[in-house]
Amino acid sequence: MHNPQLNKHGELQHLLSIDGLPKSIVNHILDTASSFVSIGDRELKKVPLMRGKSVFNLFFENSTRTRTTFEIASKRLSADVINLNIAASSASKGESLLDTIDNLAAMHADMFVVRHATSGAPHLIAKHLNDTKQHHVHVVNAGDGRHSHPTQGLLDMYTIRHYKKDFSNLTVAIIGDVLHSRVARSDIHALTTLGVPEVRVIGPRTLLPGGLEQMGVRVFNNMNEGLKGVDVIIMLRLQNERMNGALLPSAQEYFKNYGLTPERLALAKPDAIVMHPGPMNRGVEIDSAVADGPQSVILSQVTFGIAVRMAVMSIVAGTSGE
């Protein structure tokens, strides 16, 4: 079965999901990102790798951090960036997604960065571009529904590698609303691809999807048990906007059982790092003392996110679709 993300030479043509990506490509992205991290410290924060290329940011769903970091990453690569306000575009007048894509491709777009509330929308766009022989246009998934958020997964891996150097001896815990989290899915695929020996998922039964064990993770419903001896803690946001019905008694009750407090953090290894994809709900998933504490690497994740997105875009833009 051909992976729709790769061209016939096995190079990354689109980034749609971490699921199915070869370990070599994941490592290539992380290694490439390493070379971009220091650009943020320069006086002139630019490299000419995508000069003359047009990147269209298509955010059909709200985002601050992801959209901003993609925009900064594009500009640091010297690309021309077009931010489409979808709410005010033809899509709001009933134009279909693929008609919108065809019209933008006719404007000589080179890359679409797509955030969409529907799972699979970026895959649909990539398939359409391939089917209509528009091989020069690349698609990067910036988050689709509950399905995938590959650049967040990659920047999380970059952050872990930065602080822990190696994936082969780690125990990583992903905590909270896994049911609604595309980040959790991308992180699990990335961690297992990179050979992390133990991935744990911790949360209430109502917020954990079925089939997690088949993805190669250990499931815990008790926070204190699940945190024992872990090296990396990835907290997830409670996604109230995606919840139907009463999956939780209350935010206070959730914090009591699953909030990351200094006392709970002490159950992990002394040098454990704490991560969060943001935006954080302080006092719901995470105590401010932990979020702002010495073990938190949450702001580093944001910084590394720019370099990782630069790496993804420069690698994808450098491939031919043929």
Residue list, annotated binding site for carbamoyl phosphate: 65-66, 115, 149, 152, 278-279
- Rounded CA-CA distance 308/233 in Å is 20
Is the sign of the CA dihedral 164, 188, 125, 115 positive or negative? Answer: negative
Nearest to 208 by CA among 190, 226, 192: 226
β-sheet with 171-175: strand ranges across:
218-220, 198-202, 171-175, 232-235, 273-275
Provide the token pair at 213: 């064990």
Element (H, E) at 240: none
Q: What is the DSSP letter of 157?
A: H
Tell me the β-bridge partners of 93. none
- Rounded CA-CA distance 87/172 in Å is 38
Provide the token pair at 18: 């971490």
SS3 181: coil
Binding residues for L-aspartate: 93, 182, 237
- Rounded CA-CA distance 182/274 in Å is 19
Binding residues: 65-66, 93, 115, 149, 152, 182, 237, 278-279
- Rounded CA-CA distance 258/202 in Å is 8
